[in-house]
A and B are shown apart, each in its own frame.
Chain A
C-alpha cells in the first residue's frame, strides 16, 4: 500500500490551474523525486500535501486515510513533515532553540503554562541528536542568522527530521547551494533514505538520478510520467517536455 496517495488533486488560483488532476503514489521506504520545469506546480503540490493550501478538487490520502481536510499542524502529528524551498527558520534563535521547538512539537502537549521549558533536558538531548545527525552539532549554540546558507539548508532538513516524520517532503533542498554544499546535502539525503520515505522536489538532475528510486514528472500541473529513473530517462514524452531542455542531463 502506498504511504501517500494523491487522487485527481487540483488547485486553481483564479484563472490559473496550478495543479490539474494530479495522481501520484509514494510507496513506503522509497525516495520519490518530483521533477518538472519551473512553474509546473511542484511547490503548490507540496503545499497541498502539507495542508497549507486547500485543494480545489481531489483527495490526499496518507497511510490509507483521507487527510484532505486535515489542517497543516495535524498532518505533522500524523507524520508528514516538510521543508521549504526558500529557507524558513527562526532566524533570531539559536540552532538549539530551533531544534528544541521542533522536538517539543512532537513530544507531549505544548499547552503547558507553568514549568520552565528550559528545564526539560530531554528536549535538548533530542535536539542535539538531530543536530549530530545532520552535522550541525558544532553550531548548536549559534544564532541561525550567522549560519552559512548551506548550514541553514541543513537545519531546514533537521527541523523536519526532528518531528520524527514517516514522510519527508523536501522542497528543493539543494536550492542556492554551491557544488560542495550540494554534495553534502546529497550525502545527508542518502543517509536519511535508509530510515525515511522521502518525496523530493529538486531541479538538480544529477542529485535526483543518484537518490531517487522512482521519479514522477510534473508538467503544467499534471503528472505526465512516473517510473524508475531508467524508465524516465527513456521516456520520449519526458524528453520533449523537460529533460531535452536541459541539454540531455540524463
Chain B
C-alpha cells in the first residue's frame, strides 16, 4: 500500500503527454515540466539547507549559470546536448566549489550574506556581457541529442527522468554514511568535530553536489523556455527556491518537490485571479511557518 500512491502518480505523469495532446491540455504539460524543474532545483537546495543546515541565499547562481551555459554554448556553435550538459554541470560544480570553499569559513548570518554576495556578483557579471544579451537575456536554442529530438514532449520525459534519477541519488545520499554525518553536523557541529569528522569537507562536498544539481535544473529551464534570463540568477530566484523548501519542508525528503508543486500551482492560480497574487503567496507562507514549521511534508507522519 505504501507504494501505491507513488506508483499511481508516476503512471499519471507518464501517461499525461498523450492525454494532454488528445484533449488540448498542452499548457498543463508545460506547467508540469516547469514544476518538475523547480522540484529538482528546490530539492538540491534542500540538501544543503535542510540536511546540511547551510542557509545558502545564493542558490540561483548555479541555476542561472546552468541556463546561461546552454544559451552561450549554443550561440558559440556547440550544439551537442551531452557536451552542453556536461559543461553546465561541471561549471556549476566548479563555481559551487569556489564559493563554498570561501563561504563555509563563515557561519550564521555571515554565511547567508556571503552566499548572497557571491550570487549577486555573478548576476552583475553575466548582465555586463552585452554580447550575451546583457539585461535582456539570451535566446537558448535547444541542442541536439542525436538519439531523440528535443521537442516539448521529449523535454517533459527528459525532465521527469532527470528528476526521478536525482531524487534516487539524493535518497541514497541522505541515508548513507555521508548523509548521516552531514545531518549530525547540522545538529551539533562542535560535537561532530570532536568525534573526529572533518566538518568543512563534508559541508563542501554537499555544497558542490547541490550546486551541480541546481545547474542541471538550470539547463532544463533553458531548454524549457528556450531562453536564459538574468532573472534566473537574481536574488529573488534564490528566495523563490528557499520559499519552496520552507513551504515543502526543510530537511524533509519530499520537501523540495512538494514546495515546488504547491508554490507553482498557487502562483498560477492566484495570478489568474488578481495582480496582487504575491500577497496571497506571502500569506500562505506565513501560515505554514507559523502552524507547520516542518512544512507540508512534515504534516504527514511519514515525512522523511
Contact residues of A with B, CB < 8 Å?
A: 50, 52, 71-74, 76-77, 81-82, 84, 88-93, 97, 101-102, 104-106, 109-118, 120, 159-160, 163
Q: How many residues of B contact A (CB 8 A)?
A: 25
Choose from A74, A90, A106, A118 the contact partner of B184 (Cβ within 8 Å). A90
CB of A73 within 8 A of CB of B176, answer: no
A104 x B175 contact (CB < 8 A): no
Bound Cα distance from A163 to B176, whole angstroms:
20
* B194 adjacent to A88 (CB under 8 Å): yes
Complex CA–CA separation, A50 to B190 (angstroms): 12
B162-198 vs A, CB cutoff 8 Å, 1 = contact: the mask equals 0000000000110111111100100110111111111
Q: Please name all residues of chain B whose beta carbon is closer than 8 Å to the beta carbon of A112 when the two chains form the complex.
A: 176-178
A92 CB → nearest B CB, Å = 6
A-B contacts, 21 listed (Cβ < 8 Å): A50-B194, A71-B198, A73-B197, A73-B198, A84-B191, A89-B188, A90-B188, A93-B184, A93-B187, A101-B181, A101-B184, A102-B195, A104-B181, A105-B195, A112-B176, A112-B177, A113-B173, A113-B176, A113-B177, A115-B176, A159-B194
Q: Nearest CB to that of A115 among chain B residues? A: B176
Cβ–Cβ contact B190 & A88, under 8 A:
yes
Chain B residues within 8 Å of A82, by CB? 194
CB distance from A89 to the nearest CB of B (A): 6
A160 to B194, CA, bound (A): 8
- A92 contact set on B, CB distance < 8 A: 187
Q: Assess the B191–A106 pair: CB atoms within 8 A.
A: no
B178, A111: Cβ atoms closer than 8 Å: yes
* Cβ-defined contact, B194 with A72, below 8 A: yes
Is there an interface contact between B195 and A77, defined as CB atoms closer than 8 Å? no
* Contact A52 B175, CB 8 Å, known A91-B188, A93-B187: no
**Chain B, Cβ-Cβ closest to A72:** B193
Bound: A52/B173 CA distance, A: 29
* B188 and A118 form a contact (CB under 8 A): no
Pick the residue among B173, B180, B194, B201 that contacts A76 (CB under 8 A): B194
Q: A89-B188, A91-B188, A92-B187 are in contact. Are A117 and B176 (CB under 8 A)?
A: yes
Give the contacting residue for A114; candidates B176, B181, B192; CB below 8 A.
Answer: B176
Question: Does the CB pair A104–B191 fall under 8 Å?
Answer: no
| Nearest-neighbor residue (CB-CB) of A92 within chain B | B187
Q: How far is the CA of A81 from the CA of B173 in the complex (A)?
A: 28
Max chain A Cβ within 10 angstroms of own Cβ: one of B175, B177, B201:
B177
- Please give me the residue from chain B that is nearest to A89 by CB atom: B191
The answer to the question of B205 belonging to the interface, with a C-beta cut-off of 8 Å to chain A, is yes
Q: What distance in Å separates the Cβ of B208 from its nearest Cβ neighbour in chain A?
A: 12
